[in-house]
Each structure stands twice: as structure tokens, then as C-alpha cells.
Amino acid sequence: MAYPFDIFIYIDAYMPKFAANLTLLFPELTFMDRFAAAADAGFTGIEVLFPYDHSAVDVLSRLRRHKLDFVSMNAPPPNYTGRPRGFAAVVGGELNFRRDFQRAIRVANAMGAQNVQIMAGAGTGAEAHTTMVENLRWASAELAGSAIKLTIEPKSTRDVTGYFLSDLGQAIDLIAEVDAPNLGLQFDTYHIAAIAGDVIAAWNRCRHLVSHVQIASYPERAEPDMGEMSLWDFFNQIDADGYDGWVSAEYAPRGTTEQGLGWLRGQMPNTASRGGRALA
């Protein structure tokens, strides 16, 4: 298919750095084959929610072969029992938090991950808040001098029942209270839309804290070019604000991943240049 010249200019001059979430994208392929597919699609980075069951040697080999950066992963390892993941805000769970965090950092170092999201787990009230502050301060100090950055992400309780960190203002306050240079905010447009409604207004409220961005449509959590949020308006805003971090595609494809990558290639409906219409 031939593309208008101005679309090439758009992609080269304006697009942020895009990463593919290999936990969710390319499910039609084996995990190790997803690296090549991501690179072939135009992604220059990847993230994996929980890479703990994979060989660091195999992951590094594919990252190097396909010239991909490992952008982000989660801590702790997945909890297969179905309870909310994480111990950062769990009162009395400090030993579990430290043990799992240390394992996560070993894996992050082995695979070259740039960011590690700290999962809060279940909890409520002031004691859970204090516990999370203390755990984040400890984790930040553990990584002093490391290139790895830590992030926290507010999650909608419609998706993660009982999750402690469920409000944007709460996340902003936690980062301010911990006051560590290696702790930032992971801005997930799907969760932010569910929590705050207006994604751009929420971005303007916290953009100075954002270390990593994830995109998906809302309310479906599918390809980001369909839904209540205008993808191009959001990209315009983060460009105008000078955001130079990664933007990860973290969504469940409606069909095959390849069929749904029009948003990445500049094939937005009725949009041939920067700033197209909002898509409903």
C-alpha cells in the first residue's frame, strides 16, 4: 500500500518512542517469536509484565538481534492465586516485599530492563499508605546509583478489585512524600480514563512526574485509535510538553495484532497529518 508523503514526515518527526507490550501483543505467536514481530511492525522497544519465567539469555539474545530496548517490567513476580498483586502497601508484608523486589531487580539487571513498576497490592487507610511510603523509600535507596528507574501506577478498581493505589492524586502524593529521584509515575491512559475521565487534564496535572506512558483505548482496552480518547490529541499534548520517554502499547488486540496496527503506521481514519479528529 502506498502512503502519503506527509504521513512519513509525521511518523519520523513527531512520533514518540513506541514499545510493544509482549505479554499482550502478538498472542498468535510464541513469546520468543514476538520480539521479531514487534521489530518488524516498527516498535523499537518492548515491555513484559512478568518476565520471570523466561530465560534472560534468550531474552537478551532477541533484544540484541532485533535492536530492541527492554523498557519496563513489573515487580513482584506474578501471584498465581488470583489475589491483588504486590506487597508494597500490605501491612505486615514488608519481608515479602523486600524478597520479591530483590528478585525483580536481579531479573531486571539480567535482562536490561529500564523501568520496574512497583505493584501496591491490597490495602486501605493510613497504615497502608505509611507502609507503601516506607517500602518505596527502601526500594529507591536500594537502587541508588543504578540506571533502573522505579514507577508506580494507579489502577482502576473496576479491573483490579481491592488495589490500594487506585487514585491519581494518591499516586502524586506518594511520589512527593517518598521524594526519591529514581521514582516516577507510570501513566496508563486506560486506567487514567477509568479513574479521572479526562486523560489530557490528568496528564497536565502530573506530567512532571511521568517516567513511562502506556496506551490503550477506553473502555475496551483494545487498539488505542478507537474509543473515548483522542489518540492524536494526547500525542500532541505530550509532544508539546517535551515528553521524551517511552510510550508502550499495552492492549488486547481485537483481531491479530498486525491487523490492528494502523494507529502506529499513521493510518488513522480521516487523518493524514498531525492533529486529526477525536474518534468515538
Which residues are designated catalytic?
153, 250
196, containing H or E segment: helix 189-196
Report DSSP state, residue 213. Answer: E
Long-range contacts of 57-60 (CB under 8 A, 24+ apart): 58/32, 59/111, 60/110, 60/111, 60/112
Between CA 54 and CA 266 the distance in angstroms is 33
If we measure between CA atoms, which residue out of 243, 245, 214 comes closest to residue 231? 214
Q: What are phi and psi of 207, to 5 degrees?
A: -60, -30
Amino acid at 34: R
